[in-house]
Amino acid sequence: MIGGTAHFVVTDWFIAAMPSYLGYHRELVLISGVFELMGAIGLLIPSTRLIAGYGLMALCVAVFPANINMAMNPELFPTMSETALYLRLPLQPLLILLIWYAIGEERAKCAE
């Protein structure tokens, strides 16, 4: 919820993270914020937890190029150390793993 809200509060920071080869930076930041908020809410509701979890995992993959762009362009983020920018990269797979764990019960029900 915090990350999704941040897309609307510090939009320009997220726009700076966007790779130059993508267009519609502001729109993509706002859309990803909406999906992040929807996913966070969806995780709280048992009947939507599974689809929300899969959606959030897909979103983590979709925004990973922005994290790579940040690490490769540290001058755009003077308030963050270059080390911190690189440490963000392995956090994405960890976040995906945490989401996978969060929907474990629902995944087990589907497997039955």
Number of domains in the chain: 1
CA distance 55 to 59: 6
Q: What is the pLDDT of residues 42-93, one digit of tens each?
A: 999 999 999 999 999 999 999 999 999 999 999 999 999 999 999 999 999 9
Residue 111: per-residue pLDDT: 85
CA distance 69 to 89: 10
Residue 32: per-residue pLDDT: 97
Residue 53 · residue 43 · CB < 8 Å: yes
CA dist 70 → 25, 32, 42, 81, 86 (Å): 14, 17, 28, 11, 8
Residue 112: per-residue pLDDT: 77
Domain limits at 106? Answer: 2-111
pTM over 0.85: yes
User: SS3 of 71, please?
Assistant: helix
Structure tokens belonging to residue 111: 């497997």
Q: What percent of the chain has pLDDT over 90?
A: 96
